[in-house]
Amino acid sequence: MDPVAAVTDRIAEIRSQIATVSRLAAGRPPGGVLGTPSGAYGSGAAGASWSPSAGGFDAALETAIAASPGAPGGGAPAAFLGQGVPGQGPAMLGRAAPAWWENPTALAALSGVSSSAAASAGAAPAPASAPVPAVGSGRALVDAKGVPAELRVHGNGKVPAAALSTVAGADGHRLWAPAARSLEALRAAAARDGVSIGVTDSYRPYDVQVDLVRRKGLYSQGGLAAVPGTSNHGWGIAVDLDLDARAQAWMRTHGERYGFVEDVPREPWHWTYRPTH
């Protein structure tokens, strides 16, 4: 039997088992908690805990699951069964959250076929989470000048928004992802020390770099702007911070731990991300 047919057959079997155990519960008083001794639905009484009783609905359900052919270890993994509200039993039939038998990974485990085959049978696989860059990470991802290889292909100031990452809590400012995550961690650490660090500028598009030269002059001529197309802001690895005297001292003590260095004379607000590992 091909994998898709196997999953389809298992879904039909499991639904049949659910229907069977549902009929076992038909005589239960309305509102009873699944498997609870008190039968007080949603009572949340202190000390109440879930424990299947012999012949009860939950026990029948567990028995049906345990008897399912191909079930890992003789039954569905606990993670697929779910954990209900503390003190009110396991997750219940009819709840808003998907049940384990609606989970393609669970169905695949029960039937012995891959989750990709389960997805092709009509169940959508859960999206994979992207790894979160560690604080100060990314050294292997930049060139000798500290430019991220993945952004260099776009050109300075030409990096699309999708290639950058929004800095949480910073009014939409964007940076290269490792820099963004490290800045978030840095600001959180400063806040725990009672220090406020604001963000006034981050990624800077090329046309904005040109306008900055017009308004503030070239740095090499006593102004404050880099030659357009050369600014680290244009690579999403530099930020301008709003720092009072205490915050400036905090940054000079702790900034490098998070990968941020003060690397432009005359601009104490300008900090560039240089990965530490």
Predicted structure pTM score: 0.55
Residue 30 has pLDDT above 50, yes or no: no
- For residue 255, the cross-strand partners are none
CA 100 to chain centre: 22
Give the span between the Cα atoms of 157 and 233, in whole angstroms.
8
Residue 248 has pLDDT above 70, yes or no: yes
- Asked if 157 and 234 count as a contact pair (C-beta separation under 8 A), the reply is yes
Q: Tell me the average pLDDT across 207-236.
A: 98
- Asked if 266 and 140 count as a contact pair (C-beta separation under 8 A), the reply is no
Give the span between the Cα atoms of 173 and 165, in whole angstroms.
8
Q: Which two tokens stand for residue 156?
A: 């300075």
Q: Tell me the average pLDDT across 47-62.
A: 46
Give backbone dihedrals phi and psi of 224, rounded to 5 degrees, phi first. -125, 5
Residue 79 has pLDDT above 70, yes or no: no
What pLDDT score does 214 carry?
97
Going along the chain from its start, the domains and CATH numbers come out as 3-120 (no CATH), 139-273 (3.30.1380.10)
The continuous run of DSSP H or E covering 271 comes out as strand 270-273
Q: Tell me the average pLDDT across 4-30.
A: 61
The continuous run of DSSP H or E covering 13 comes out as helix 3-24
**Which one has a higher pLDDT value, 39 or 169?**
169
What pLDDT score does 261 carry?
98
Q: Which two tokens stand for residue 106?
A: 């669970």
pLDDT tens digits, one per residue of 83-130: 333 333 333 334 444 443 444 444 444 444 444 444 444 445 545 556
What pLDDT score does 260 carry?
98
Range picked from 48-62, 122-136, 200-214 for highest mean pLDDT: 200-214
